[in-house]
Amino acid sequence: MKRVALALCPADCSMRGTCRLVGEFAKCLCRKGWTGAACETATAAVASTVLPSTPDSSILVPILLVALLSLLVVCLAAVVVYLMSGRRSVGCVDFDAEIESGKAMLHEKATFWKKVKARFVN
């Protein structure tokens, strides 16, 4: 008779309690934090520990990947254009012309000092 009475517990106590025979009736004795005939209701202590559902952020990953890939393509295109252009210039500065003018100035100074040396040595 005891087994039959224990089998009458509602919904197997929702796996949150133990079915016990109290007098002639089967009753769920709920674990801490649960209440109700079948231990189906959470008390305030258990309900406050349940984490809220987070929004689905699965769409953010593809968007970020596309943005990163686009940035990479733009940077790569800029490097290719820079390397394909024959002259190294940035904005208004032409580095090749600046280097050549620097070489010319050094050549002029070297020629000047050679003339001075030749005058005093000879």
pLDDT at 72: 94
pLDDT at 70: 95
Q: Give the residue with greater pLDDT, 99 vs 64.
A: 64
pLDDT at 90: 54
For residues 11 and 40, the answer to whether their CB atoms sit within 8 Å is yes
Secondary-structure percent of the chain, ordered helix, strand, coil, rounded to 5: 55, 15, 25
pLDDT at 89: 52
Q: Give the residue with greater pLDDT, 58 vs 89.
A: 58
**Which residue, among 46, 25, 26, 24, has the nearest Cα to 35 in the 3D structure?**
46
Q: Give the residue with greater pLDDT, 11 vs 113.
A: 113
Contacts of 88 (CB under 8 A, 6+ apart): 95, 96
pLDDT at 73: 94
- Residue 9's SS3 state is coil
**What is the rounded CA–CA span in Å between residue 105 and residue 73?**
42
| pLDDT tens digits along 82-98 | 877 765 555 566 667 77
CA torsion, points 78, 84, 85, 88, in degrees to nearest 10? 80
High-pLDDT (> 70) share of the chain, %: 74
Structure tokens at 28: 């769920």
Query: Any idea which residue has 């000092």 for tokens?
Result: 113
pLDDT at 65: 92
